[in-house]
Amino acid sequence: MGSNSFRLEIAELSRGRYKRVDYLKETVRLGGGLDVHGLLTEEATQRGLACLARFAQRLKGFAAWQVRAVATQTLREARNRDAFLARANRVLGHPIEVVSGREEARLIFQGVSRLQPSDLPRLVIDIGGRSTEMILGQGRQAHQAESFGVGSVSLSLQHFPGGRFTATGFRAAQIAAGAEFEEALGTFDRALWQEALGSSGTVGAVSQILAASGVTDGTITAEALRWCIERCIEAGSMEDLQLPGLKPDRKAVLGGGLSILYTLLQHFRIEALRPAKGALRQGVIFDLEERLDAVRNHRLPDPRDLSVRELQSRFRVDAAQADRVRQRALLLWHSLAHPQARPDGEDARELGWAAALHEIGMMVSHHDHHRHSAYLLGHVDAPGFSQSQLRQLAVLVLGQRGELTKLVEHLGDDALMSQVLCLRLAIILHHARIALPARATALQRQRGRVVLSLSRRWAQEHPRTLHLLDEECRRWLAQANRRIEVQLT
């Protein structure tokens, strides 16, 4: 779900080979629907929902684990994105994840590197409607990935109002784009890469114009871009612009796209930019494949597991305690056998990640560390995770201790509150940072209550833990209207 277009790609993957089954694209211009207050207008919302309704028809018959939907810059910016997503999720019938700029860049590179493999150090550029991603990588590994808040829709609206092309407008647009990219001149220095590729709509559209006009073979150069800009200025407006290979739906954003491209080629000394095979949508499919492989074969890493370990190292987490809490929380979750758990196992995985990272806030302060942990998880860049999923983890770690009233807006979400319960109980059971026999606890639903079964012998040896559990039961009854009982066996 991009700022300019929504795209649906259906593919088959067999032994690493990618076969497209179907591809749908609609120009939605969601990015043009942000008002001066950063709110998505109802008109733009309706365009997006209508498109998703048509996509939902095509997705009938697909299981939840087969589908992944991601949204980019416009929904990163929109202040009312949660309201839009609530409606969009219902229409599409699948949860929509908002990905961070760096995660978008990582996924773009994954799509390009898998469909156009190379061992050369390469620069990959993707110009979207409201953001531009730049990635430096080699093979399948992205070494640097950045996202910049300038795109073909936003720049066109600002510098080419009413679709009018002027030399002054192009100069101003290039200066504005340059101001965004200037900080990255060292990061993507010309000496660090040997070939430059451009993915997705803007690069593809300009490449088609150049090839159809006989200016180049489709390769984008600074000289070829100057030719395009001169043709736009001569035409004076998008209505009067007639160029071979230019599709009507691209006219409204061509001025911004050309300005960004010319600025990138000049600033980063790109002699030739060639269209790439692969883009964000293919990267999302390959990433989904890796997740599914990790579920089927536990020896294979989920990209998110690698991110969790990196965050633990960065924030100097007590890894032994984190693993004790993680294993206990998952044992409790599985013994609880929650009826609303997602069939793909994502609830359990999220609980495990939250437990592994519940103490990252201690790097900031031991006091109220759960609040610091929640803030960090809600704002960190973590490859593999969407912003939506990181916010979910932030809610879980915020609820790991203290009053439950801070989760008042989530009390009606039984699955999430069960995750919170398992995490809180696991932390209490291991509060002394000691091991506990795996079979010493179990969590079960019994006639409208949740019962924690606890080894009597162990409980008698740890009276302080039993005291904390009794306090916890009283808190759940008073603040969440849920009966939690401890039963010694």
- DSSP secondary structure string, 71-106? E-HHHHH-TTHHHHHHHHHHHHSS-EEEPPHHHHHH
**CB 486, CB 452: distance < 8 Å:** yes
Residue 455 pLDDT exceeds 80: yes
Q: Which of 68-72, 101-105, 198-202, 236-240 has the lowest mean pLDDT?
A: 198-202
Distance CA 222, CA 220 (A): 7
Distance CA 401, CA 385 (A): 24
> Of 253, 232, 281, 190, whose CA–CA distance to 32 is shortest?
253
Average pLDDT over residues 320-346: 86
> Of 321, 388, 385, 328, whose CA–CA distance to 358 is shortest?
321
Distance CA 360, CA 358 (A): 6
Q: Name the residue with higher pLDDT: 341 or 98.
A: 98
The pLDDT tens digits of the residues spanning 415-433 come to 999 999 999 999 999 999 9
Helix 414-429 and helix 319-336, axial crossing angle in degrees, nearest 10: 130
The DSSP secondary-structure symbol of 301 reads P
Confidence category of residue 94, pLDDT binned at 50, 70, 90: very high
Distance CA 157, CA 345 (A): 43
Counting every residue written for the chain, the total comes to 489
Confidence category of residue 66, pLDDT binned at 50, 70, 90: very high
Average of per-residue pLDDT values in the chain: 94
Residues contacting 212, CB < 8 A, separation 6+: 243, 244, 245
Residues contacting 201, CB < 8 A, separation 6+: 2, 4, 5, 127, 128, 152, 250
pLDDT score recorded for residue 293: 86
Considering only CA atoms, give the Rg of the chain.
Answer: 26
**CB 458, CB 487: distance < 8 Å:** no
> What letters, b where the CB count within 10 A reaches 16 and e where it falls short, cover 170-204?
bebbbebbbebbeebeeebeeeebeebbbbbbbbb
Torsion angle in degrees (nearest 10) through CA of 432, 435, 437, 438: 100
The pLDDT tens digits of the residues spanning 160-219 come to 999 999 999 999 999 999 999 999 999 999 999 999 999 988 999 999 999 999 999 999
Confidence category of residue 341, pLDDT binned at 50, 70, 90: low
The pLDDT tens digits of the residues spanning 381-417 come to 999 999 999 999 999 999 999 999 999 999 999 999 9
pLDDT score recorded for residue 448: 86
Which residue matches tokens 């633990």? 312
Average pLDDT over residues 325-334: 95
Distance CA 287, CA 395 (A): 25
**How many helices (H) and strands (E) in the chain?**
18, 12
Confidence category of residue 295, pLDDT binned at 50, 70, 90: confident
Average pLDDT over residues 72-99: 95
pLDDT score recorded for residue 108: 96
Q: Which two tokens stand for residue 367?
A: 């006091």
Average pLDDT over residues 131-152: 95
Average pLDDT over residues 68-88: 95
> Of 367, 366, 393, whose CA–CA distance to 380 is shortest?
393
Distance CA 207, CA 268 (A): 19
| β-pair partners for 5 | 27
Backbone phi and psi for residue 35, each to the nearest 5 degrees, phi listed first: -85, -175
> What letters, b where the CB count within 10 A reaches 16 and e where it falls short, cover 255-288?
bbbbbbbbbbbebbebeebbbbebbbbbbbbbbb
